[in-house]
Amino acid sequence: MDLSQLERLSEYAWRVPPRGGMRVPAVLYADRGLMEAMDDKVLEQICNVAGLPGIVKAAYAMPDAHWGYGFPIGGVAAFDPDQGGVVSAGGVGFDISCGVRTLHTGLAVAEVMARQERLAERLFQVIPAGVGSTGRIHLDEARMDEMLAGGAAWAVAQGWGRPEDLERIEEGGRMSGAKPEEVSARAKHRQRNEMGTLGSGNHYLEVQKIAEIYDPAVARRFGLEQDQVVVSIHCGSRGLGHQIGTEFLKEMAVAARQHGISLPDRELACAPIHSDTGQRYLGAMRAAINCALANRQILTQLTRDVFDEIFPGTTLDLLYDVSHNTCKVETHEVDGQKRRLYVHRKGATRAFGPGHPDLPPALRDAGQPVLIGGSMGTASYVLAGTADSETLAFSSACHGAGRAMSRHQATRRWRGRKLVDDLAGHGILVRSPSMRGVAEEAPGAYKDVSAVVEAAERAGLARRVARLEPLVCIKG
């Protein structure tokens, strides 16, 4: 990226003042190295976002930002419905509510390593993964609508988990305002056999060791202890969410013209929040959020079953579940006034600071857990939200490392079988139905996650609590 176009606000913050059709500034958080490595398209896209109607304060890009559809992945923007604010399917993304949840095992690294091979094989046998993967649950029309309205709460009621899990999930495990009737028959058909599956791409289930603690006090509140083992699950709303995104992007392209919205990029297709299209999309998107929450909840119980088989008596208590790729109605302070805004986070994590009333009481004093995923051979991180993040980026932080090259480029550079063998040589067991998929998600295809996390911390978006390293990875 050509940095001459930006004003440097600090070592970890950059600004583009309003120009052309921009209504507000664009602000990017990263150090110089990460900024220079970003594609120029990121700057173009975040400046385009800054020109959408009703946008408030600024359009933001997180340290892991990279080129996406319409919005950059790692983009954050908030819109005021009373000032003509819009909702954009491209600002949410295709994998609606893709997210991460982390579970405590209560096991030490030595205990898990003694049965590592068996654990990897059983998880691979039990957790459906890969393109077109299907699970043991088959939903008819009535049960599909119940799931889309109920989210993780529905899954728990069906026996997939425990009621206390819901206390550690955003929105209490159920996104209100969901409208299953706004989800097309095609989207529902794609999902009817996919509940409790990982899918493909960068989705995974990892058994991880806690390799380093940065903030002992917060780590204790989160229940994290060095050389203990946790499990992290990364997946989303599968085919249903993708279908919703595809359908509404087409409809929003028409709606934008009908409402006189001039788009610098057709991929920024949007509709006024108060419009019929906007309201129907929000209802469908919230149903997709519930789908993702239910999906991760089912995968949690499948994982618990495997651990109880191999390590009898383990409970796998939930630390937290965070979503990426959402648009949520939240109260934020703008120019000294509290306003209800529609906050788009695409490839970004909500990061509420200490004391926020939406956090569960057990975590409220420490701030929200922010779960940052790695890629097979690289570290993942647990961060905590900060009070400063509210003013910096509507309480938002990065969500992962961010791709450094395309999947096509990755498959030209790496071979999946060799990657699996090399990682096994480093004590990391990878199981996947697709060696091409492994190559696409090679650790080298991503940015340095440690640099991304450090930039997020130095910028004030979130603070490091613990570093996690993979032991077993089930890859889609």
Q: Give the chain as a 3 state SS string.
A: CCHHHCEEEECCEEEECCCCCCCCCEEEECCHHHHHHCCHHHHHHHHHHCCCCCECCCEEEEEEEECCCCCCEEEEEEECHHHCCEEEHHHCCCCCCCEEEEEEEEEEHHHHHCCHHHHHHHHHHHCCCCCCCCCCCCCCHHHHHHHHHHHHHHHHHCCCCCHHHHHHEHHHHCCCCCCHHHCCHHHHHHHCCCCCCCCCCCCEEEEEEEEEECCHHHHHHHCCCCCEEEEEEEECCHHHHHHHHHHHHHHHHHHHHHCCCCCCCHHHCEEECCCHHHHHHHHHHHHHHHHHHHHHHHHHHHHHHHHHHHCCCCCCCEEEEEECCEEEEEEEEECCEEEEEEEEEECEEECCCCCCCCCCHHHHCCCCEEEEECCCCCCEEEEEECCCHHHHHCCEEECECCECCCHHHHHHHCCHHHHHHHHHHCCCEEECCCHHHHHHCCHHHECCHHHHHHHHHHHCCEEEEEEEEEEEEEEC
**Does residue 344 register a pLDDT over 80?**
yes
Q: How far apart are CA 463 and CA 369, in angstroms?
A: 10
State the distance between the two ends of the chain, measured CA to CA, in whole angstroms. Answer: 32
**pLDDT 10s digits, 27-72:** 999 999 999 999 899 999 999 999 999 999 999 999 999 999 999 9
Amino acid code (one letter) for 238: R
Q: What is the mean pLDDT of residues 112-130?
A: 96
Task: Note the pLDDT of residue 446.
Answer: 85
The answer for 49, left when phi > 0, alpha when psi is -120 to 50, beta otherwise, is: alpha
The whole-model pTM stands at 0.96
Task: Note the pLDDT of residue 281.
Answer: 98
Q: What is the mean pLDDT of residues 342-367?
A: 96
Pairing relationship of beta strands 26-29 and 318-323 according to DSSP bridges: unpaired
Q: Return the CATH number at 93.
A: 3.90.1860.10
Q: How far apart are CA 425 and CA 415, in angstroms?
A: 16
Q: How far apart are CA 286 and CA 434, in angstroms?
A: 31
Q: How far apart are CA 470 and CA 378, in angstroms?
A: 7
Residue 405 pLDDT class (50, 70, 90 cuts)? confident
**pLDDT 10s digits, 231-285:** 999 999 999 999 999 999 999 999 999 999 999 899 999 999 999 999 999 999 9
Contact between 344 and 88 under an 8 Å Cβ cutoff? The reply is: yes
Task: Note the pLDDT of residue 403.
Answer: 77
Range with the poorest average pLDDT among 161-175, 367-381, 461-475: 367-381
Q: Whole-number mean pLDDT of the chain? A: 95
**Does residue 351 register a pLDDT over 90?**
yes
Rounded alpha-carbon distances, angstroms, from residue 470 to 25, 64, 206, 429: 39, 20, 6, 8
Q: What is the mean pLDDT of residues 114-141?
A: 93
Task: Note the pLDDT of residue 377.
Answer: 85
**Does residue 92 register a pLDDT over 80?**
yes
**Does residue 5 register a pLDDT over 90?**
no
Q: How far apart are CA 214 and CA 95, in angstroms?
A: 32
Amino acid code (one letter) for 397: A
Contact between 268 and 49 under an 8 Å Cβ cutoff? The reply is: yes
Give me the sign of the Cα torsion angle 15, 17, 23, 24: positive
Residue numbers of the domain that contains 209: 3-475
Task: Note the pLDDT of residue 214.
Answer: 98
Range with the poorest average pLDDT among 113-117, 279-283, 411-415: 411-415
**Does residue 406 register a pLDDT over 90?**
no
**Enzyme catalytic residues:** 399
> What percentage of the chain reaches a pLDDT higher than 90?
89
Q: How far apart are CA 142 and CA 295, in angstroms?
A: 17
**Does residue 113 register a pLDDT over 90?**
yes
Q: How many domains does the chain have?
A: 1
